[in-house]
Amino acid sequence: MQHVRRDQPEKQPYTLLIIDDDPLVNSSLHSVLSESFDTVLTFTDPAEALEQLDTIRPDLILLDIFLGNINGLDILAQLREREANIPVIMITAFSDIKLAVRAIKLGAEDFIVKPPDLEQLEITIRKVLQNYELRRRVELLQAQLPESPAAEILGESPAIQEVIRLARIYAQTDDTTVLITGETGTGKELVARFIHKHSRRASGPFIAVNCGAIPRDLAESELFGYERGAFTGAVEKLKKGKFELAHRGTIFLDEIGELPLDLQVKLLRILQEKRFYRLGGEKEVSTDVRVIAATNQNLEELVAAGKFREDLYYRINVARIEIPPLRERKEDILLLASAFVQEFNEKMGKKVKGFTPEAVQILRQYEWKGNVRELRNVIERVMLLTTDTVIDQEALRFLPSYEPSSGTDHQATELPKSYELAPGEHRLIISPQGANYYNVLRDLFIQTLRLTKGNKMKAAEMLGITRARFRYRLEQLNITEDMYMPRQESVS
């Protein structure tokens, strides 16, 4: 076993484990990769490597398929049986379609052909490590999710951290009215609940009222209650309104800009005197309640237009929190999406682990006009339909602005062709320069389709992947029907 560790700034802080029974290959890979990665360990004995796996805790394994009398795919299967999610890149002396299919089914991230192009090898390793880091981050974020997400605010961006900072400050006061502004779906009620939970009123009730959803003729009785005979149908002796129910707690008035002007007057009196009359009542009712208001409208413009009372505006605009839209805090999208995945995993009994990098890119580039609420709805829809353990970009195809991501590594025109098909045979002949992963994978799919005579369902089954993922790969690899279906000769 060779072990070299040099603390150089330019090195990536990863541990690579190489398992190959050829000492010369081990030595060559070790020499090259040690220049770029912090720790590189090599083993010729796979049993010894597995025995030390928990101690080494590698970030990536390079595993030879043929290890003397031992098949590297069996080692890969043992790793997966141990639930080790360490990414594995297979090394093979030649490309074989059956081995490639088995490797894909067993969860190999990639495979390279000997002798490897060292520059391409390093690019492949970096890409696999990047994907691995993303998956680990999702798992970490899910583990950090609070036990009661309904009362917590998720986000790491400076903007949302400022929201949390202000919410904690305002929570320290008992009576200060708070105005929360932001677009629809940004989580205004969530922030209001956060303030309530962290205040001295936390043991009291939290009553949420959507001012825009209450019919105008019922709004007063809904907010302030009524006594028998107050109006036709008021047969109960007394019905408490929302303000009375929120006594010694918090009332959250969402979309306060929709409140009719006559009720704005009564609301102003409650804020100033903590007293009100029930509809049809003769005695004043006292209430000890904190008011948190929210709106997605510009109240200053409503005041200027005479649709909102200026005195009420100044009374509720004491402590203000503005929640930024989701598109302005893209670094929070993965955290939120992961929280929703965990939520629906529990509700639906599924085991979705996270997202592919392409799916994350789509989520971060989407505009999210409905903000967090829209994101939650999208994840719920995906979770209902998915049968995979990872959400890929195919699952997000229904988004209005969906565009398949296309990195340069997926563009066949920019990749050198270093192999050719043997005429009449379903195998690859590798040139001395080796073969890159894109081209090998492309021909793997083409040859599988040839074997199944173009039957995509059977081809997907052979490769051990879903039909949706198979269709996505065909698009990604630019595979057209004329590449795998025999041409019909014209008869003259």
Q: What is the pLDDT of residues 19-28, one digit of tens each?
A: 988 888 888 8
How far apart CA 245 and CA 52 sit, in angstroms, is 63
Q: What local confidence, expressed as pLDDT, does residue 405 receive?
A: 52
Q: What local confidence, expressed as pLDDT, does residue 265 receive?
A: 92
SS3 293: strand
In a 13 Å sphere around the CA of 405, the CA atoms on its Cβ side amount to 17
How far apart CA 28 and CA 14 sit, in angstroms, is 18
* Topology adopted by domain 408-483: Arc Repressor Mutant, subunit A (1.10.10)
Indicate if the alpha-carbon torsion angle 442, 483, 356, 342 is positive or negative.
negative
Q: Find out whether the peptide bond into 215 is cis, omega within 30 degrees of 0.
A: no
Q: 233 pairs with which residues across the strands?
A: none
Amino acid at 116: P
Confidence of residue 386 (pLDDT cuts 50, 70, 90): confident
Residue range 138-154: mean pLDDT, rounded: 53
Same topology, domains 158-323 and 329-396? Answer is: no
Q: What local confidence, expressed as pLDDT, does residue 437 receive?
A: 52
Confidence of residue 404 (pLDDT cuts 50, 70, 90): low
Confidence of residue 322 (pLDDT cuts 50, 70, 90): very high
Instruction: Output the average pLDDT for the chain.
Output: 80
Architecture of the domain made up of 2-142: 3-Layer(aba) Sandwich (3.40)
Q: What local confidence, expressed as pLDDT, does residue 259 receive?
A: 92
Amino acid at 302: L
**More reliable by pLDDT, 482 or 259:** 259
How far apart CA 306 and CA 197 sit, in angstroms, is 35
Confidence of residue 167 (pLDDT cuts 50, 70, 90): very high
In a 13 Å sphere around the CA of 63, the CA atoms on its Cβ side amount to 28
Helix axes 97-106, 456-463, angle to 10 degrees: 70
How far apart CA 130 and CA 223 sit, in angstroms, is 54
Q: Is the pLDDT of residue 415 over 60?
A: no
Q: Is the pLDDT of residue 326 over 90?
A: yes
Amino acid at 330: K
pLDDT tens-digit series, residues 100-141:
777 777 888 887 877 777 888 888 898 888 887 777 666 545
Indicate if the alpha-carbon torsion angle 296, 302, 304, 305 is positive or negative.
positive
* Topology adopted by domain 329-396: Helicase, Ruva Protein; domain 3 (1.10.8)
Place of tokens 């490597």: 49
Q: What local confidence, expressed as pLDDT, does residue 411 receive?
A: 32
Domain 158-323 in CATH 3.10.129.10? The answer is no
User: Where does residue 272 rank: exposed (0-12), middle (13-18), buried (19+ CB within 10 A)?
Assistant: exposed
Torsion angles phi and psi, residue 115, rounded to 5 = -75, 135
**More reliable by pLDDT, 65 or 412:** 65
Distances (CA, A) of 201 to 101, 207, 270, 326: 61, 12, 18, 30
SS3 4: strand
Q: What local confidence, expressed as pLDDT, does residue 9 receive?
A: 45
Do 336 and 310 contact (CB within 8 A), yes or no? no
Place of tokens 């505009």: 367
DSSP H helical segments within 66-117, as ranges? Answer: 72-81, 97-106
Q: Is the pLDDT of residue 158 over 80?
A: yes
Domain boundaries, the chain: 2-142, 158-323, 329-396, 408-483
Length of the chain: 492
Question: What is the reported pTM?
Answer: 0.55
